[in-house]
A and B are shown apart, each in its own frame.
Chain A
Amino acid sequence: MKKMHHLQIEPGQIGEFVIMPGDPGRCHLIAEHFENPQLIAQSREYVTYTGKYEGLTVSVTSTGMGCPSAAIALEELIMSGAKYLIRLGTTGALQKNINLGDIIIPTSAVRLEGTSVEYIPIEFPAVADIDIIDALIRAAQEKNLKSHIGIIMSHDAFYKGSVFADPDFLKREQVWIDSNILSVENESSALFTIGYLRKVKVGTILTAVANHLTREVITDEEKINPIFHQMTDLCLEAFKNKN
């Protein structure tokens, strides 16, 4: 079997269950939760590990930042046999009641990016798979973790819509704040759209590392990593429940 063009993996090397962080540097943290994790491939921004979790074959593959590279990762993972995929990442909150470190489980995403529009007209809704949403919510409830559930936004231009953007960024985001969008990130809308088109189950779990209204930011990786471990547990529980 030929290796996938970008991920450099081949069918049989990954499980049906895949966690997708944006940052390749976080893959090894997630792989720590697997039994006997093996580094499968490392190519560009794509790092893949495969291991076992309670009898399931599970993998982690980073997507890089943004929908163009995330779409490539998802397409090649599906071609390699993935069926249940959860993006695990960070996000900037757009609502006052979301504190730094809080967990967000999106039901759907605003398509403020270019990639998904190449797939299907913009009026198509980017919705997460309902079974993944349910499984993540149940996993969080079982661990008594509070989560925010609702619509998020995916965009392409970090320096137009983030706490590091020009001072007018909140003016541009007001329409989304007023329409109850929970937070901003970079990959989910294309992942949800492509997941539906390819008939695989895709969801997302995020933690707020910034709040655009208060302008607070967490930059210290030491503070973010424990939340990543917590979210990894939730993804693995969700995979288990799903099965």
Chain B
Amino acid sequence: MEQVQYHIRCKKDDVNKAVLLPGDIERADYIGTKFFRDSVKIVENREFHIYNGIYENKPVAVCSTGIGCMSAAVAIEELTNIGCKYFIRVGTCGSLSPEINPGDIIIVTGAVRGDGASKEYIPIEYPAVADYRIVTALRNRAKKENTDYSLGIIRTHDAFYMESPFAFGDYKKRVTIWAEAGVLAIENESSTLFVIGSLRKVQVGTILVAAGNLITGKKGTKNELQKSVDKAIIIAAGALVDLREKEEEKI
């Protein structure tokens, strides 16, 4: 693993082992420069922007994954190859629940595997489950921040223009089965990240902000959403710190 990884252009120990995974490149830049102390940009290649930095006196990192499970799988595989162990995706999603409004925060326990990448790894009956230690760390930090959140299963899919407010035709009809099953929201990366986490024995979790509601059609303003995204980043970065501290206690 001394060799430089094909896409993220890093080698062993180049990246701090607790990593935030936004989808958006600009969000990685935002987290790296606005939330981390002493931050250093390590890589800028394709959709992968990686920063190391310090958060609450612990070394952490951020790496953008790009949109979709294909590139997210590449990111987490290569980061795992070079020694990263804790991953929290921070992103946005479309709410499927009438109770979850734009700007509301979701902590994810599991994901419907509506993506293609995870099927290349393991048969479809294998569950895409978030690591319980990450779920607990996120819940603890949300409580500390006095932030309400929804907790549950989301759906990960591949085709934005089939299941989103911008989709063709009757997208509401396509998502009804999931809304009725109590699936909280739709996004694009978690199911593959969770599956690879279980297969490679690294801890993976997800925290999301609802950008809009697919059922009610409500949308958040840019300002409102940014506030919630900041909150989600603070909760996720704090959770990474707590996980690192737990690891140090064991040693």
Contact = CB atoms under 8 A, between A and B. Distances in A.
30 contacts: A107-B129, A108-B110, A108-B127, A108-B129, A110-B126, A110-B127, A120-B177, A122-B124, A123-B112, A123-B191, A124-B112, A124-B153, A125-B111, A125-B112, A125-B113, A125-B127, A125-B191, A127-B110, A127-B127, A127-B153, A130-B132, A149-B132, A151-B126, A151-B129, A151-B198, A179-B122, A180-B201, A196-B153, A196-B181, A199-B182
A70 interface: no
A139 interface: no
Contacts of B181: 120, 124, 196-197
Contacts of B135: 130
B199 interface: yes
- Tell me whether chain A's interface is mostly helix, strand or loop, or mixed: mixed
Interface in B142-189: 151-153, 177, 181-183
Contacts of B136: 130, 134
Interface in B22-49: none
B132 A125 contact: no
Contacts, number: 73
A107 B112 contact: no
Given A111-B125, A175-B123, A197-B182, A123 B199 contact: no
Given A123-B113, A125-B153, A179 B126 contact: yes
A125 B156 CA distance: 11
A199 B126 CA distance: 22
B114 interface: yes
Contacts of B123: 175
A127 B182 CA distance: 13
A13 B124 CA distance: 39
Contacts of A130: 109, 132, 135-136, 139, 151
A213 to B, nearest CB: 18
A109 to B, nearest CB: 6
Contacts of B201: 180
Contacts of A149: 132
Interface string A40-61: 0000000000000000000000
B19 interface: no
B50 interface: no
Contacts of B109: 127, 130
Contacts of A121: 112, 177
